[in-house]
Structures are given as structure tokens and as C-alpha cells.
Chain A
Amino acid sequence: MTPEIAISLGRILAVIAGVLSAVPYLVFAERKICAYIQDRIGPNRVGPWGLFQPLADGLKLLTKEEILPNGIDRFAYLLAPALVMIHPLATFAIIPFGSSITLFGQTIRLQIADLPIGILFFLGVASLSVYGLALGGWGSNNKYSLMGGLRACAQLVSYELSMGLCLVGIILLSGTLSTSQIVAAQEETLLGFLPAWNVFLQPAGFAIFLICAFAENNRLPFDLPEAEPELVGGYHTEYTGLRFGTFFLAEYASMITMSALLVTLYLGGHHLPGVTTRDFGPVMTGLISTAVFGAKVATVLFTFIWTRWTLPRFKYQNLMSFSWKCLLPAALVNLLMTATVITLSG
């Protein structure tokens, strides 16, 4: 095995293990934060501060009976849980989660694949995530599941447009489609003190992208595909045991991926002026940049959770009109202004 392949495999394993093991603790954090916001304490019985609660939850899902309901479309029903995992894990391939580490004379970049068309890759894979949800809804042969699946499709399609327009703004600014170069473009400082993160250059774009990220992940206030009061559980109503667990896992994993992408595009990726600009030796520099990246992702994730426990759910017609009548024009104006400024400043 050549060292390149070994390095690639190592990175892939590290990313998959990292994301998948972060998910249970994200669920745990969600439960804790939700409890604290509601003046409760949250899970605290399993292990110290309830830290083993995610293990217990996982074991519960593993030992639950798997039910294949009557009248399902077996192929679609069984395929859907596998499909939903593609989007969160594949998108992570283009995210630079640290600078680089030098080990045994080899410089390892902390990114699985530095595609020159990283953003396009993301958009393509993000569209795939519709299939899992739609097939899950279709294959279950249940009216509520179908409604949930259809809603997920409509929502993803509507919000992806505004998201794409925000991305164009970023591409115009940094003049590249590669995520690592977008991060590199945010390395300097503005006016001497402000880090040159895109969030300061594109505040409106950041806000729109954030809203679209909520919608893409079916998070409250946009969780209509699984609105409990109307649709039981939406597209995963008929799923049990580990198959349900996969949907659950994918939802939280895509939250992590989306936050990581947000950090990469708008919050300077793994850069932090004053910390990652210094040299801490061949290994530590990379690790510290990864830690900076992780801290930023955690902050964005906290915002996700905070929003969920603050805002109520949209009505369906408001969801659609918000996307088409507010977000899309706003994203267009943002793009137009960005383009004008760039043209004028040469």
C-alpha cells in the first residue's frame, strides 16, 4: 500500500469515526440544553452527569425489534435509511477540518479531498439527500409518511435555491470553488483587527445561509416533514429499531456537516487570528487548528439547538412563501450587490 492510500484511508476513517461518535453526544447536548432552557436538569442518571446516556440510548435502539410493516415497497423502504447517510458523510469529504500535520516526514493535509470544484460537489450531494427522505416516505405506504417525504422534497428544493445564491456570493468574493482556498482567503485581517471572515463581508448572505441550513436539516422552525402534531413522525413514522436510528443519526450527522460547512464558508474555517497564525511545531499546529475548527462548529451547533427550543414551527404555506418571497429576493439582492461592489472595486 502506498503511503498516499494509507493517508487517505486514515483520514476517511478519522472523519467517519469523528462524525459518527459526535452524533450521540450532540443528541445528549441537545437534551441537556433543551432541559436547561426549560428550567429542568435533563438526563443525569446514567453515569456522571448522565454522560453515558447516549450509550444507553444507542443500546436501546440496537435491541428494539425491527418491524417490516405490511404493504411496504420493500426496495424503497430498505434503501432509504442507507441513502440518508450519504449526504452528511460525503459532504464532509470537502471540508478542511485543520491545516496540516507533519508525521514521519509526510505532510498530511487535514481534508479528505481538496476538490477544485468542492462547492459544486456539495450542492450535488446535498440534492441527493432528498432521495432518502422521499423514498422513505414513499416506501412506507403510509399517508403520513408520504406527506412528510413530499414536504421534505418541496422544502429542500425551495431552500436550496437561496442557499446556492449565497454560495455564488462567496465564490465571487474568493474567486474559487475549492473549499480549502475559500478558507485560505479568510486568513488575513480586515482593518487590522477584524478577521477577514466572510461573515463580516457577507452578513446578509450568512443570515440567509443559516436559515437555509436550518431548513435543509429539517430543524425547527422548519421541521414540517416530521411535524409531530400533524404527521405522527413524518417520513420515518413506519421505521423501527436501527433503521429508525439511521434516520436519526443522519439527521444529526447532517447537522454537524452543515455546521462544518458554515464554518468553512463564513467563519474562517480552522483559522483564528493570533492562535493558528503561530507555529506550535509540526503536529501541534495542525491539532490546534482542528480544535479551533471544532470549537467553531460546536458554537454553530449550539445556535441550531438554541433556535430549536426558541422558535415555534412555521405553517406550511408560510414556509413556502418565506422561502420564495423573502429569502430568494434577499439572496438575489445580496448577490447583485456583491457583484456590483466587486466590479466597481476592480
Chain B
Amino acid sequence: MPSITEPAAALVKGFGITLKHLFSRKFTSQYPEKPHPIAPKFRGEHKLNKDGEGRVKCVACFLCETNCPAYAIRIKSAPAPDGWQDRERYPAEFEVDLLKCIFCGYCEEACPVDAIALTNKIPEVETSREAFILNKEKLLANADLPAATSAEKYLDDILKKWKG
């Protein structure tokens, strides 16, 4: 005759677990009404920063394009317009293809003048491949969005926490 206490105890335990979950905190987020909070380190669409005079900060050095592991950046460099004293060249065109991009943030790390950065903005859903390419206007329009926490700062924060 098999023992009855063992299965009975397992049953009680199982029913206890489901009963506990009946009253525990729910994880569903009510998406369209209450969007899920986005972590500050979330890397979304790129932005091109502007300098003090509202001009694009980029000096068209191609470091980001060279550094991009996904070949997502395409820059067309041109001699800087007259009166731009601080640099010789500027990007006449600047494109980031969001379908190629893997949101690694290497472009941001490579840039010598802090001209490109990733923001928290989630890329919008589009219906054509072309629409996923961020051109210079769109990138500049993102200029005022806060940048995602950089990998460097994120690591620093973690290290600080560890060291106490």
C-alpha cells in the first residue's frame, strides 16, 4: 500500500502556491494607457547634437561610420560652409539605418566631439524600409531628447554600488 501522506502533503503545498499567487502582485502592464517605464539605459533612436550656435556638432570625421559594426551609418562629408571657423568639414548628409543598427552605442563612444548619441526614444513602426532610415533632419530633431545612460556611466554606477 503506497503511503498517502507524501502525495497529500504535495497536494496541499501545490494548492497553497496557487492560492498565494491568486492574491500576489500582478505583472500585467496596461500598455496603451500606462506605458511600461523605460530604463534610463535603454538605447533607442539616435540624435545629432547641436553646438552653442544651433549648428550640427559633427565634424564629419567618419569615426562613427568606421566603428559601426553593422554598417548602419552613411555620411557624406562636404567642406564647411563659409563662416564656420571651428572646422574644415561638416556632414552634408548623415543617415542611420535603424533596420541595420544593432543599438550597440559604439558610434556614441567613438565620436571625438560628442556629436552623436543614442536616446531613450523607441523607433516608430513604419511601413517601408526607407522610412526606417533616419536622415540628418530627423537626427537633429531628436537633439533635445535626453541621451541614454552611456555604457561607461552605467558600469561606473554598478562599480560604485559594489564598492559601497
Bound together: yes
B28 cross-chain contacts in A, Cβ below 8 A: 39-41
Evaluate contact between B26 and A36: CB separation under 8 angstroms. Answer: yes
Cα-based distance from A310 to B18 in the complex (angstroms): 6
Q: Mark B19-38, 1 if CB is under 8 A from A, else 0.
A: 10111111110100000000
Evaluate contact between A310 and B25: CB separation under 8 angstroms. Answer: no
Distance in Å: Cβ of B136 to nearest Cβ of chain A = 42
Cα-based distance from A310 to B11 in the complex (angstroms): 9
**A317 interface residue per 8 A CB criterion:** no
B19 cross-chain contacts in A, Cβ below 8 A: 306
**B15 interface residue per 8 A CB criterion:** yes
- Residue among B11, B15, B27 making CB contact with A39, cutoff 8 Å: B27
**B112 interface residue per 8 A CB criterion:** no
- Residue among B21, B25, B30 making CB contact with A37, cutoff 8 Å: B21
A306 cross-chain contacts in B, Cβ below 8 A: 15, 18-19
B14 cross-chain contacts in A, Cβ below 8 A: 310-311
**A324 interface residue per 8 A CB criterion:** no
Distance in Å: Cβ of A226 to nearest Cβ of chain B = 22
Cα-based distance from A311 to B18 in the complex (angstroms): 10
Evaluate contact between B27 and A37: CB separation under 8 angstroms. Answer: no
Q: Which of A11-50 contact B (CB under 8 A)?
A: 33, 36-41
13 contacts across the A-B interface (CB closer than 8 A): A36-B22, A37-B18, A37-B22, A39-B25, A39-B27, A40-B26, A40-B27, A41-B26, A41-B28, A306-B15, A306-B19, A310-B14, A310-B18
On A, residues with C-beta under 8 Å from B are 33, 36-41, 306-307, 309-311
**New A-B contacts (19) at CB < 8 Å, excluding given A41-B26, A310-B14:** A36-B22, A36-B23, A37-B18, A37-B21, A37-B22, A38-B21, A39-B21, A39-B24, A39-B25, A39-B26, A39-B27, A40-B27, A40-B28, A306-B15, A306-B18, A306-B19, A310-B18, A311-B11, A311-B14
